[in-house]
Amino acid sequence: MHFDRPTAMRFFNCNNLYVSGLKHINSQKNHVSINGCNGVTIEKLHIIAPERSPNTDGIDISFSTSIQIHNCTIKTGDDCIAINGGTSNVNITQVACGPGHGISVGSLGHNGAHDEVQGILVNKCCFNGTRNGARIKTWQGGSGFARNISFSDITLIAADNPIIIDQFYCNGRVCKPTNESAVQVSDVTYTGIQGTTVCKKATINFSCSDTVPCTNITLNNINITSAAPNSPLHSRCINAQVTAHLTEPP
């Protein structure tokens, strides 16, 4: 018999919502869901779930606008914060993420969906032992856009996949690249991202669609080193228009 696991706290169609000072431990599914809301401030939340607990996102946002998330500690088995379709004008600052799957835009375009996300600012956050860092993930066959997204002043501590755009997201399965439509990813900026990684693949990984390539991707002052001594790092760029201004390691 199948029982759907509940979300611990769900806010639907709220205006001028303020949530502060709560502690969530071991939600069966995602801890906090924001859906169809306008004008939300979330601060000083402490969210905890085991590292291997599936689908225990810290904060899920969808079809909402004008969202402020500040000064939170999120330790989960999935995305610390997931920004889904229909969402705009989100400001995330001083969030300590880890363990978890990072702060993610998406996934977008699942089952051919048309999704739109824009105006996302992630600033002064820390990824400690996360599976991903700053991530954008879209499914093949979808449509819409993810644009005007900024990750800045990010600290990495032994994080995997620190910077990743994946237009071939398949939720852990192996999906073959196709010539299907894709969610357009554009105007994404990464500035002042520094720290260490355990990534054995591409530290900076832009895997974009040949049908709808990623455009206007900018890297400024990136300084990521391996957590393992004498372990070289490399980048991967497929179908992405990238401008990079990189600092030399000290």
- Residue 116: inside a domain: yes
Q: Two tokens at 210?
A: 């040949």
Mean pLDDT of all residues in 11-33: 96
CB–CB of 107/138 below 8 Å? yes
**CA–CA dist 53, 26 (Å, integer):** 9
The overall average pLDDT reported for the chain is 94
Query: What's the pLDDT score for residue 248?
Result: 53
Which of 89, 123, 127, 83 is CA-nearest to residue 105?
A: 83
- Residue 119: inside a domain: yes
- Residue 250: inside a domain: no
- Residue 117: inside a domain: yes
CB–CB of 207/166 below 8 Å? yes
**CA–CA dist 94, 154 (Å, integer):** 9
Mean pLDDT of all residues in 60-77: 98
Query: What's the pLDDT score for residue 249?
Result: 47
Which of 235, 190, 243 is CA-nearest to residue 216?
A: 243
Proportion of the chain above pLDDT 70, given as a percent: 96
Count: domains in the chain: 1
3-state SS class at 249: coil
- Residue 200: inside a domain: yes
Burial class (CB in 10 A: 0-12, 13-18, 19+), 107: buried
Q: What is the CATH number of the domain that holds 223?
A: 2.160.20.10
Phi, psi (deg, nearest 5) at residue 118: -160, 160
pLDDT of residue 177 exceeding 80, the answer is no
pLDDT of residue 29 exceeding 90, the answer is yes
- Residue 35: inside a domain: yes
Query: What's the pLDDT score for residue 250?
Result: 46
CB atoms within 10 A of CB 224: 22
- Residue 3: inside a domain: no
194 lies in which domain range? 9-169+178-245
What global pTM score does this model have?
0.95
- The better pLDDT of the pair 175, 162 is held by 162
Give the confidence band of 2 by pLDDT, cuts at 50, 70, 90: very low
- The residues annotated as belonging to the active site are 78, 101
